[in-house]
Amino acid sequence: MQQLILGSSSPFRAELLAKLGLAFTTASPDIDESPLENEQAEQLVKRLSEQKARAIGQHYTNALIIGSDQVAILDGQILGKPDNHINAVKQLTTASGKTVLFLTGLALLNSKTGQIQSLVEPFEVSFKTLSVAQIEFYLQQEQPYQCAGSFKSEGFGISLFYKLRGDDPNSLIGLPLIRLIELLKAEGIDILQPN
Strand stretches in 60-145, DSSP E: 63-74, 77-79, 99-110, 116-127
69 is catalytic: yes
Nearest to 180 by CA among 30, 49, 81, 54: 49
**Helix, strand, or coil (residue 160):** helix
Catalytically annotated residue among 30, 32, 69, 190: 69
Element (H, E) at 15: helix 11-18
Give first-to-last CA distance, the chain, whole Å: 10
CB count in 10 Å sphere of residue 38: 6
Cα separation, 126 vs 55, whole angstroms: 35
Q: How buried is residue 34: exposed, middle or buried, by Cβ count under 10 Å (0-12/13-18/19+)?
A: exposed
Cα separation, 60 vs 3, whole angstroms: 9
Catalytic positions? 69
